[in-house]
Amino acid sequence: MQQVKKAVIPCAGFGIRFLPFTKAVPKELLPIVDTPALQFAVEEAVDAGIEEVLIIISPQKGSIKEYFGDSVVLSKYLLDNNKLDEYALVQSIANICKVSYAVQSVMKGSGDAIFYAEKFVGDEPFAVLFGDDVIYTGDGPSVTKQLVDAYNQTGATILGVQQMPEEILRRCGVMIPEETNGKLTKISGLIEKPQKEIPSNLCSLGRFILKNNIFEQLRETPNGIGGELFLTDAISLLAKKEPVYCYEFDGHRYDLGNKQGFLEATVEYALRNPQLGKKFKDYLNTLRERGAF
More confident site: 284 or 173: 284
Using one digit for the tens of pLDDT, what is the confidence trace for 107-158? Answer: 888 889 999 999 999 999 999 999 788 999 999 999 999 999 999 999 999 9
Q: What is the pLDDT at residue 213?
A: 95
Q: What is the pLDDT of residue 193?
A: 85
pTM, rounded to two decimals: 0.92
Percentage above 90 pLDDT, the chain: 75
**Mean pLDDT, rounded, for 43-64:** 94
Report the mean per-residue pLDDT for the chain: 92
Q: What pLDDT, on the 0 to 100 scale, is given for residue 251?
A: 96
Cβ atoms < 10 Å from Cβ of 258: 12
* Calpha distance 201→125 (Å, rounded): 27
Q: Measured at the alpha carbon of residue 118, what is the angle toward residues 115 and 124, in degrees to the nearest 5? A: 135
Q: Specify the pLDDT at position 166.
A: 87
Domains of the chain, first to last: 6-256 (3.90.550.10), 258-293 (no CATH)
